[in-house]
Structure 1
Amino acid sequence: MILLAPMEGLLDHMLRDVLTRVGGIDRCVSEFIRITDQLMPNRVFTRIVPELLNGGRTPAGVPVRAQLLGSDPVCMAENAAKLAALGPEGIDLNFGCPAKCVNRHRGGAVLLDEPELLREITAAVRRAVPAGIPVSAKMRLGYLDDSRTLECAQALVDGGAGELVIHARTKADGYKPPAYWDRIAAVRAAVAVPIVANGEIWSVADAAACRVQSGCADLMLGRGMVADPGLALAIRSPGAPPLVWGQLLPLMQDFFALVRAHVATRHQAGRLKQWLHYLRRRYPEAEEAYQRVRTINAPDQLVLALFGPPALQEAA
């Protein structure tokens, strides 16, 4: 199984839509829905996870598990129950976000220093959600170090999580290479639920190494999939023809059409350039295109510079 990771500010419903059209992804996880001290209205859930209005699936038919982030077991449970009524494929709990602003307000990876609270949150959510809706959790190896990795994983499983995604770095490690895939193996040996390995998987070779070192067959792809939209397919079928630049351009056009429909005008160009920046890692053509458009902020001018006149776009 290959999962598409949640990436706040990058891998949202618009990019999920486009990337799942390519194929190879079995399930997505949404960006986190921040739960503090109130019951969220349905519009908050459907704004972050609009797939809830489509049977919990992307337009390509890939199921999306909605993710909650918070530290109050009662409030998390109440919101999970309300979210469950909207029909998600499942509910995921975020104990891995390393962002300072989130951790400062007692959310995400900082809770990895409180294993008992992890258990309480997970148990409260599991009790509040119908049995037919899966509850999973995403964690890192720890907050400042990995001394409590097994304790945290066991707490989540004891609380009722039916699957764990483990990002193979601590909060202190951030996103700096390497990812310590081998440290996931001990968790896999200690708990009796499926484990999904995540972190620093940029290529087919990385995926193979991660599987060997972690012992996990299941993977979650994040930045690697944004940089190479054909990565999931390539992992499934090594040696298959790669996705070429000409195949990507229509996807980028569709993505920008979604951006223009959902994002404020002043931020639209930035979203397309953000994806183009990641694509530079895999495609030389993306580097040339990025340099050509990096100073353009007007959406119409950006479309013209990147995709050409409307007649050429239609021909493509």
Structure 2
Amino acid sequence: MSRLILAPMEGLADPLMREVLTGIGGYDWGICEFVRVTESVLPNRTFLRTCPELKNGSRTPAGTPMRVQLLGSDPHFMAGNARRLVKHRPAGVDINFGCPAPTVFRHRGGSALLGEPQLLHDIVAAVRAEIPAGIPLTAKMRLGIDDVCLAVDCAQAIEAGGAEELIVHGRTKADGYRPPARWAQIDRVRAAIDIPVIANGEVWTVDDWHRIRAESGCADVMLGRGALADPFLARRIRGEAVGGWDALRPWLAIFWCGVRERVLPVHAGGRLKQWLMLLRRHEPQAEALYQQLRPVKAAEDIDRLLLAAGIPGELPLAA
């Protein structure tokens, strides 16, 4: 069976969302949001804040292993942070060569490095040297900055640096998140290297999963925004019979309870609305609830509206 991996999604898949999605199930492992490395070795609390799963054997409460992602451009400081990170025994270490965010790009991080294959190699090699046997090292890249002409060179550099697997998002930095993803270009990268390649990008349905595997030639797939739009997608891919809105409501309740515990009331509603915006792609009830909550700002008012919608403040975990 194809492995299914939960993508690192900055601003979307935070520890609470990872807890919910892996609680629903279907994932072999996942990667947390990136840890930004600049010209310093970060304190332990930074790694633990970004990936609190490290305090639980690097697993979510449901038991799904979570790897920690580093983002930076200096091999020396990337190595120093990897040295500190591995003291926490992460389930794996991943290096971000794919983030297209303008702020990250301007500060020479993520996808900004895809024009410099030698630097990719040097970063991976420096990090590899600090990771003991038994902790996997992966990297995640896009196809390029403005075009795909260096995609194979970048992948080969990452492989030569010592990465054990490579995740390829089938878009360039310039593509952003506009469809379609270039799945056939992932196949070109896969054919040029010997380490396993995991395909990523624009997988929203079971049919998309079949097609990305066929076009990329990859057995394994990483799910990103599609996992938030359909939290049962991984289980659907695995052939399980899962419900729709009624099955999702308990998880919405758990998510909202977590938001209320972690986020200031003035910001809590935004987190829920952000998820509903993705859920409405598949669920008409999510669209209706989003429209109802859209003008509401006070968390207490949202509490009452959710209760009326059959989403109380606390519900037991669904099987």
Mean Cα deviation higher: 12-21 or 257-266: 257-266
- 2:35 equivalent in structure 1: 33
- 1:51 equivalent in structure 2: 53
* CA 1:69–1:214: 2 relative to 1, 3 Å: same
- 2:113 equivalent in structure 1: 111
CA offsets per residue over residues 36-95 of structure 1, 9 Å max, x none?
A: 011111111111100001100000000000000000000000001101101110000000
- 1:75 equivalent in structure 2: 77
- Deviation of the 1:307 alpha carbon: 2.7
Structure 2 residue 167 is matched with structure 1 residue 165: yes
Q: Which one-letter code corresponds to 1:282 in the other structure? A: H
Q: Secondary structure at the match of 1:85?
A: helix
1:182 aligned to which of 156, 181, 184: 184
1:231 aligned to which of 230, 233, 236: 233
CA offsets per residue over residues 81-134 of structure 1, 9 Å max, x none?
A: 101101110000000000111010000001000000000000000001112211
- 1:286 equivalent in structure 2: 286
- Deviation of the 1:263 alpha carbon: 2.0
1:255-270 equivalences under 5 Å are: 255-270=255-270
Cα distance in structure 2, aligned partners of 1:94 and 1:243: 34
TM-score by length of 2: 0.95
Cα distance in structure 2, aligned partners of 1:298 and 1:70: 38
Q: Sequence identity, in percent?
A: 53
Cα distance in structure 2, aligned partners of 1:307 and 1:210: 39
Structure 2 residue 124 is matched with structure 1 residue 122: yes
Mean Cα deviation higher: 71-80 or 187-196: 187-196
Cα distance in structure 2, aligned partners of 1:315 and 1:144: 47
CA offsets per residue over residues 279-311 of structure 1, 9 Å max, x none?
A: 000100001111111111111211210233999
2:63 aligned to which of 52, 57, 61: 61
Cα distance in structure 2, aligned partners of 1:14 and 1:67: 17
* CA 1:224–1:46: 2 relative to 1, 3 Å: same
Q: Which one-letter code corresponds to 1:206 in the other structure? A: D
Q: Secondary structure at the match of 2:90?
A: coil
- Deviation of the 1:315 alpha carbon: 7.4
Cα distance in structure 1, aligned partners of 2:23 and 2:184: 32
Structure 2 residue 210 is matched with structure 1 residue 208: yes
Structure 2 residue 151 is matched with structure 1 residue 149: yes
Unaligned runs of 5+ in 2: none
- Deviation of the 1:265 alpha carbon: 2.6
Q: Which one-letter code corresponds to 1:287 in the other structure? A: E
Cα distance in structure 2, aligned partners of 1:315 and 1:20: 17
Unaligned runs of 5+ in 1: none
Q: Please say if residues 257 and 314 of structure 2, whose CA atoms lie closer than 8 Å, have aligned partners that are also in contact.
A: no
Cα distance in structure 2, aligned partners of 1:203 and 1:197: 15
Q: Which one-letter code corresponds to 2:257 in the other structure? A: A
Q: Please say if residues 253 and 307 of structure 1, whose CA atoms lie closer than 8 Å, have aligned partners that are also in contact.
A: no
- Deviation of the 1:200 alpha carbon: 0.3
* Count of residue pairs the alignment pairs up: 314
Cα distance in structure 2, aligned partners of 1:31 and 1:224: 17
* CA 1:300–1:247: 2 relative to 1, 3 Å: same
1:276-315 equivalences under 5 Å are: 276-308=276-308
Cα distance in structure 2, aligned partners of 1:188 and 1:9: 29
Q: Please say if residues 36 and 72 of structure 1, whose CA atoms lie closer than 8 Å, have aligned partners that are also in contact.
A: yes
Q: Secondary structure at the match of 2:207?
A: helix
Q: Please say if residues 276 and 286 of structure 2, whose CA atoms lie closer than 8 Å, have aligned partners that are also in contact.
A: yes
- 2:273 equivalent in structure 1: 273
Q: Which one-letter code corresponds to 2:250 in the other structure? A: P
* CA 1:163–1:302: 2 relative to 1, 3 Å: same
Q: Please say if residues 257 and 313 of structure 2, whose CA atoms lie closer than 8 Å, have aligned partners that are also in contact.
A: no
Q: Secondary structure at the match of 2:234?
A: helix
Q: Please say if residues 94 and 138 of structure 1, whose CA atoms lie closer than 8 Å, have aligned partners that are also in contact.
A: yes
Q: Please say if residues 249 and 311 of structure 2, whose CA atoms lie closer than 8 Å, have aligned partners that are also in contact.
A: no
Q: Which one-letter code corresponds to 1:233 in the other structure? A: R
Q: RMSD between aligned alpha carbons?
A: 1.5
Q: Secondary structure at the match of 1:128?
A: coil
Structure 2 residue 29 is matched with structure 1 residue 24: no
Mean Cα deviation higher: 137-146 or 259-268: 259-268
2:219 aligned to which of 211, 217, 220: 217
